[in-house]
Amino acid sequence: MNDLVTVEVIEEHVVLLTLNRKEAANALSSALLDALTESLQQLKKQTQLRAVMITGSGEKAFCAGADLKERKGMTNEQVVETVEKIGDTIRLVEELPVPTIAVINGVAFGGGLELALACDLRVMNSNTKVGLTETSLAIIPGAGGTQRLTRLVGLGQAKKMIFTAKPITAEKAREIGLVEEIAPLTDLMASAEELCKLIAQNAPIALRQAKKAIQEGFNTSLSSGLEIERLCYQQTIPTEDRMEGLEAFKEKRKPVYKGK
C-alpha cells in the first residue's frame, strides 16, 4: 500500500479505502492513481471481503477530479494517456466483485464524480455538491462519466449536468437518483457503515453473484439478462452457506456465513 491511499479494516469483512491528498482536494495525480490501482488489485484478491467503502481525506473534498496543475505541463499525447489511466483505474473499482459504496464527504467534480459513479452505491454529505464540470474546461468527461451517469440518472438529467457543467446539491443528487442516501457530514460515515453492516451480514458468494448478475445483465436484453441471472443463481446452489441459511431460518437464528 501507499501513503497516498490507505486501506483500513472497519469491521470483519468491510474495509475503508481513503484517498490521501487533502492538500490537493484528493485530486487524481499520476502517483495517486498508481497507489489506488495497487490497492484495488490487492482488494480484488481478498476472498472474505464483503463490502468496500471509498472516501477522501479531510472534510472539503471527496475528489476534485484530475490534477490540473500536473496536467498543465503535459503534451497532448500525455494528456490522452493520463485520461486513459484514470479510466482504467476507475474501471478497477467497478470490477471489484463485492459491493462498493462511495462515501462522498466533500465535493466530487469531474473524475472525482466518475470515481463515485463506478461504485455500486453512493452516500453523500448533505452540505456539498457534485458535478461533471469538464465542458467548462473545453473537454468532456473522459473516464466513464458520459456513460455511467446516463445509465444511472437517465438521458435528460445526464445531458443537463454535462452540458451546463453546473454542480448540483445533495438534495438534487438524491432526487434524480445519483446518490442513494444523504446525511450531515457528522453522520455520514456512520450512515455508510450501517449500510455496509446490512450488506456484510449476507452470504458473500450470494453478494458476488448478485452483483455479477446485475452488472452483466443491465446492458443487455431481458432474455440475455435472465440467462445471466440463471447462471449466477446456479453458483449459489452447491454452497455451504445456502444450507446454513436454510438451517438458520428453520432454527430462527442469525446465519453464520463463511463464504463456502
Domain assignments of the chain as residue spans, ordered by start: 5-200, 204-251
The pLDDT, as a whole number, for residue 87 is: 93
Q: What is the mean pLDDT of residues 238-245?
A: 89
Angle between helices 222-236 and 204-218 (to 10 degrees): 170
Name the active-site residue from 27, 51, 64, 66.
66
What's the mean per-residue pLDDT of the chain? 93
The answer, yes or no, to whether residue 182 has pLDDT greater than 80, is yes
- Our answer to whether residue 175 is catalytic in this structure is no
CB 131 within 8 A of CB 167: yes
111 is catalytic: yes
Using the predicted structure, report yes or no on whether residue 162 has a pLDDT greater than 50.
yes
Q: Count of alpha carbons within 13 Å of 119, Cβ hemisphere only?
A: 24
Q: Which one of 114, 116, 118, 173 is the catalytic residue?
A: 114
Find, among 18, 14, 16, 15, the residue nearest to 3 by Cα: 18
> What's the confidence (pLDDT) of residue 68?
80
Instruction: Give me 55's grid cell.
Output: 472516501
Measure the CA–CA gap between 12 and 139, rounded to whole angstroms: 42
Q: pLDDT at position 1, please?
A: 46
Q: Quote the percentage of the chain above a pLDDT of 90.
A: 78
Q: Residue 71 has what pLDDT?
A: 81
Please check whether residue 87 is in contact with residue 117, taking contact to mean a CB–CB distance below 8 angstroms: no
**pLDDT 10s digits, 118-146:** 999 999 999 999 999 999 999 999 999 99
Higher pLDDT, 151 or 12: 151
In the predicted structure, residue 211 carries a pLDDT above the cut 60: yes
pLDDT given at position 245: 85
Which one is predicted more confidently, 98 or 69?
98
pLDDT of residue 2: 62
Task: Taking residues 134-159, report their average pLDDT.
Answer: 94
Q: What angle do CA 109, 29, 190 make, to 5 degrees?
A: 55
Contact 123, 180 (CB under 8 A): yes
Mean pLDDT of 7-29: 93
Structure confidence at residue 184 as a pLDDT band (50, 70, 90)? very high
Choice among 35, 116, 118, 134 that is catalytic: 134
Model pLDDT, residue 258:
87
Told to judge if 247 belongs to the known catalytic residues of this protein, a careful annotator would answer no
CATH fourth-level superfamily of 5-200: 2-enoyl-CoA Hydratase; Chain A, domain 1 (3.90.226.10)
- Overall CATH class of domain 204-251: mainly alpha
- Determine whether 66 is an active site residue: yes
Percent of the chain topping pLDDT 70: 99
